[in-house]
Amino acid sequence: MSAYVEIPRPYESAPGRFTVDLVFPAQSKRRAKRHHDVAWTLADVHGVEASTPFALNPRWSYYKEMCGTDEKYGGLDDRRLTVQGGARAVARYLVALERVLDEVEALATRAVRAFGTWKRSVAAEPFLEYEDASTMRVRAREFRADVLRALVQGLNARTRPVGERDSSRPLWEQYGAVAEEVRAAAGGVDLERADEEAVRVQEARMVPAAVAEAERLVAAEAARLEAQRLEEERVELFRGAEERVTRAQDEADAERYARDGQAALFPVGDARPPLVVPPPMPVKPRRAPRRRGRLRPETRAALNGAVRVIPREAVERLWLDPTHEAPVSADRRRYVPAA
């Protein structure tokens, strides 16, 4: 896998048509833009469709736009690229993209080494009179970025004339000539070549059913090996405990038999049963604890919805004035004992 592009698993967006969303994780946005340009140029070579997705600007707001700031609503995301095409074309494109990105970055590194060689030469002394270590680090960083841009811009050109260096100018101003030098020394960059074995592996990775089945089998095998390891550890634990207990019993029996003079009559450990390892106990899931408390009857009735509204007359009948004599019906008056 290349360190300059993240390639997720392509998905089938239509029958026989696959889509992959590439991400360029370079720390520098300018460098990620160069990798994006390489992928864009390579799409035309391999006959796939490429598009740059739109990204919203998180710093934008309606109030900033009303105030006239330079914050835009959004724009094209140069760190991502969406590629679509047939299975074979997409597979060849992805394999070639990793190789081309690595070769272009290697050419830029060779150009920086040439810059370091020139910096230590006698021809660079007139141009380094007012430069120090910090400014030369900036010069080298900017020189590499310019060389990378020149390499990307001339990536699709078949033949390019190799320019000569101008000794009257510093080398950081001649990045184009250095880029052509390292390109010619390496024999150029082949945009169409792709390893057939890697293409077959990429095509197998693009099939969803086969990939899902392979992942399921791998997960099942990993679970089986983990269960086997735990079972072996459990058996070993029981065996160690049984050996310690057996050793203690044998020592106690030997001491007792030697004291009683019966060591020859009872051999130590002959009739001991073999070790039996019990099966693992199932783990019962624990429930969340519930708070149990006693509720008053009226509270329980209110929670259950059994509260009734008592009429005012009934309340007055129940709570009478102690000095007030309760009325007695005629039927009850018949059974009242005479005074």
Q: What is the DSSP string of 33-64?
A: HHHHHHHHHHHHHHT-EEEPPEEE-TT--HHH
State how far the Cα of 250 lies from the Cα of 233, in Å rounded to an integer: 26
46 is a domain residue: yes
State how far the Cα of 8 lies from the Cα of 24, in Å rounded to an integer: 12
pLDDT, one tens digit per residue, over 251-287 is 777 777 677 666 555 555 555 666 666 777 666 666 6
Full-model pTM: 0.58
User: What average pLDDT does this structure show over 63-83?
Assistant: 77
The gap from C-alpha 253 to its chain's centroid, in whole angstroms, comes to: 61
Tally of domains in the chain: 1
CA distances from 147 to 134, 177, 178, 180 (A): 20, 9, 7, 9
The gap from C-alpha 37 to its chain's centroid, in whole angstroms, comes to: 26
- Tell me the helix, strand and coil percentages in the chain, rounded to 5: 55, 10, 40
Give the pLDDT band (50/70/90) at residue 339.
Answer: very low
Q: Is the pLDDT of residue 320 over 60?
A: no
Give backbone dihedrals phi and psi of 200, rounded to 5 degrees, phi first.
-65, -40
51 is a domain residue: yes
User: What average pLDDT does this structure show over 18-23?
Assistant: 92
User: What average pLDDT does this structure show over 112-137?
Assistant: 90
133 is a domain residue: yes
273 is a domain residue: no
For the chain, the average pLDDT equals: 79
317 is a domain residue: no
169 is a domain residue: yes
pLDDT, one tens digit per residue, over 295-319 is 666 666 666 665 555 566 665 665 5
Among 97, 69, 75, which residue's Cα sits nearest to residue 10? 97
Tell me the helices (H) and strands (E) count for the chain, helix number first. 10, 6
CB neighbours of residue 42 within 10 Å: 22
Give the pLDDT band (50/70/90) at residue 162.
Answer: low
Domain range for 28 is 11-189+196-206
Cβ 182 vs Cβ 110: under 8 Å: yes
71 is a domain residue: yes
124 is a domain residue: yes
Contacts of 70 (CB under 8 A, 6+ apart): none
How does 162-175 read in b/e, with b if 16+ C-beta sit within 10 Å? eeeeeeeebbbebb
Q: Where are the beta strands (DSSP E) in the chain?
A: 11-14, 17-23, 49-51, 54-56, 74-76, 80-85
User: What average pLDDT does this structure show over 47-55?
Assistant: 90
Share of the chain above pLDDT 90, in %: 25
Sign of dihedral through CA atoms 188, 192, 197, 201?
positive
